[in-house]
Amino acid sequence: MMDFLQHLSFWDWLALGTLLLILEVFGAGGYLLWTGMAAAAVGVLSYLFPALPWPWQFLLFALLSVLTAVLWWQRLRNAGKTSQQPGLNQRGQEFMGRTFALHEAIVDGRGKIKAGDSLWLVSGPDLPAGTPVEVVGQDGVVLKIKACA
């Protein structure tokens, strides 16, 4: 075993990095990606510095793995922060408080309005087509409306 460690080649590190990256393809969530990249980086460093002893190679691998894992964790943690565009990807929120005319009468609590270039399902009190209504809420893809006073 000591003989193998003393003759550790950059090819061994590149093979380990490749193996970890292949395993990442099967869904490790990014963690093997960065460990594989750390192994590849140690492979490149051992190619550039062939006299680098194996304990230093393992130490570099450990440090680079921990460093990249911490950086990945911080990136994931920061990804959950609030957006500067809070309504992004929330269609229907842009219609809150706006007034539209009913496109189809509301019967049994369901009807349609034309908002923008599309028809939207609405729920509210039974009203005839053409009645001005105000959007007051949203339940999934259905807009909640009330009759304008």
Nearest to 135 by CA among 148, 144, 126: 144
Domain that holds residue 30: 2-79
pTM higher than the cut 0.85: no
Nearest to 42 by CA among 23, 24, 18: 18
pLDDT tens string, the chain, 149 residues long: the values are: 667 666 778 888 899 899 998 998 888 777 788 899 999 999 999 999 988 888 999 999 999 999 988 988 888 788 777 767 766 667 778 888 999 999 999 999 999 999 888 899 999 999 999 999 999 998 888 999 999 86
Q: What is the CATH number of the domain that holds 142?
A: 2.40.50.140
- Domain final position from 79, 102, 117: 79
Side chain identity, residue 134: E
Altogether, the residues listed in the chain come to a count of 149
Q: Are 49 and 102 part of one and the same domain?
A: no
Q: Enumerate the β-bridge partners of residue 144.
A: 123, 137
Indicate the number of domains in the chain.
2
The phi, psi pair for 145, rounded to 5°, reads -130, 165
In a domain, 85, yes or no: no
Residue-level pLDDT at 148: 86
